[in-house]
C-alpha cells in the first residue's frame, strides 16, 4: 500500500477547501445556508494553514485574505443564527411570545443580505479574492512538508486550546469563552484532517484529557457555540422595541444557558 505524502495530501485538502468555498459563494437557492457553508470551509482551510505554520510554506498572505473573507460574512451569519436560535427556543415554548421576535429577526437578517449583495453583487468580488488565495497556495513548496512538522503543529494547537480553557475557567467572560471555542474548533478540524495527511499521525496523536478526541471536541465546540448564540440572542431581545412579555423571553434564554451539556 502506497504511503501518504503529507505535502501532497495537504495541498489536495487546501484546494478542495477552496473549491468548497467557491461553490458556497455562488449562493444558490438558500443564500443563508450558503454563507454558513462558506464560513465553515474558510475555517477548515485556515485550520489547515495554521497546522502548517513553521513549515517552509509562506501562508500569511493567503490566511489574511481568508480571515477578511470570513469576517466579511460574520454579520450575515450571526443575523441568521439569531433567527435559528429564536426558532429553537420557540419550539420548546409554543405559548411564549416568540413569533413577533422571530419576525423582527428575519427582517434584520434579510436586510443584512440585501446590503451585502448591493455592495458585492452575486459575491463576485469575494470569489475573485478566493482565486488569489488559490494562486498563492499553488505556488507553495508543498513537498517540503515533513511529518514531524505536522506533529509540532498539533502539539501547538493542543497547548493553545488548553491555555484558552484554563483562562476561560478562571474568568468565564464572553471574550474568553469565545476564544476557547475558537481554539477547540480549530484543533478539532485539524484532528479531522490528520488521517488524510498521515494515518500514523492521526493514530499516535490523540490528545489526552477532557475533550481529547475529535468527537468530544465537536460536542464541546457545539456547546460553547450555543452559549455564544444565546448571549447574542439575549442582547437582541433585550433592546428590541415592541416586545411583549420581554421578561418571559429573557428568562427562557437564561434557563437555556444554564442547561447541562448532553
pTM of the full predicted structure? 0.89
pLDDT for residue 220 = 86
Other beta carbons less than 10 A from residue 87's beta carbon: 14
Nearest one of 193, 162, 155 to 180, comparing CA atoms: 162
What residue ranges do the domains of the chain occupy? 6-257
How confident is the model over 229-241, as a mean pLDDT? Answer: 96
CATH class of 6-257: mainly alpha
Q: Which of 36-45, 66-75, 207-216, 225-234 has the lowest mean pLDDT?
A: 207-216
49 confidence band (pLDDT: 50, 70, 90)? very high
Task: Determine the Cα–Cα distance for residues 121 and 58; give it in Å rounded to an integer.
Answer: 31
Biggest CA-to-CA distance, the chain: 66
Would you say residue 204 has pLDDT above 60? no
How confident is the model over 166-174, as a mean pLDDT? Answer: 92
Percentage above 90 pLDDT, the chain? 81
Would you say residue 218 has pLDDT above 90? no
For the CA atoms of 256, 257, 258, 260, what is the dihedral angle to 10 degrees? 80
Task: Determine the Cα–Cα distance for residues 144 and 33; give it in Å rounded to an integer.
Answer: 37
Say which residues have a Cβ less than 8 Å from residue 216's Cβ, sequence separation at least 6. Answer: 210
Query: Could you tell me the three cell numbers for 40?
Result: 465553515
Amino acid at each position: 500500500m502506497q504511503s501518504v505524502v503529507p505535502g501532497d495530501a495537504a495541498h489536495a485538502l487546501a484546494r478542495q477547501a477552496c473549491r468548497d468555498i467557491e461553490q458556497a459563494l455562488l449562493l444558490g437557492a438558500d443564500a443563508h445556508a450558503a454563507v454558513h457553508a462558506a464560513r465553515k470551509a474558510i475555517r477548515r482551510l485556515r485550520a489547515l494553514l495554521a497546522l502548517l505554520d513553521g513549515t517552509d510554506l509562506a501562508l500569511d498572505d493567503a490566511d489574511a485574505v481568508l480571515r477578511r473573507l470570513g469576517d466579511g460574512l460574520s454579520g450575515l451569519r450571526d443575523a441568521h443564527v439569531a433567527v435559528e436560535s429564536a426558532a429553537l427556543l420557540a419550539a420548546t415554548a409554543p405559548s411564549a411570545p416568540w413569533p413577533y421576535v422571530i419576525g423582527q429577526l428575519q427582517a434584520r437578517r434579510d436586510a443584512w443580505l440585501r446590503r451585502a449583495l448591493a455592495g458585492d453583487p452575486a459575491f463576485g468580488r469575494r470569489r475573485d479574492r478566493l482565486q488569489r488565495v488559490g494562486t498563492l497556495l499553488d505556488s507553495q513548496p508543498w513537498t517540503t512538508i515533513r511529518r514531524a512538522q505536522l506533529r509540532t503543529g498539533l502539539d501547538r494547537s493542543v497547548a493553545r486550546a488548553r491555555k484558552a480553557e484554563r483562562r476561560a475557567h478562571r474568568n468565564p467572560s464572553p471574550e474568553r469563552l469565545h476564544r476557547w471555542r475558537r481554539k477547540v474548533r480549530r484543533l478539532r478540524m485539524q484532528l479531522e484532517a490528520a488521517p488524510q495527511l498521515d494515518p500514523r499521525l492521526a493514530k499516535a496523536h490523540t490528545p489526552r484529557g477532557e475533550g481529547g478526541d475529535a468527537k468530544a471536541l465537536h460536542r464541546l465546540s457545539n456547546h460553547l457555540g450555543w452559549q455564544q448564540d444565546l448571549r447574542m440572542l439575549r442582547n437582541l431581545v433585550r433592546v428590541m422595541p415592541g416586545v411583549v412579555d420581554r421578561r418571559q423571553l429573557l428568562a427562557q434564554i437564561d434557563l437555556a444557558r444554564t442547561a447541562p451539556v448532553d
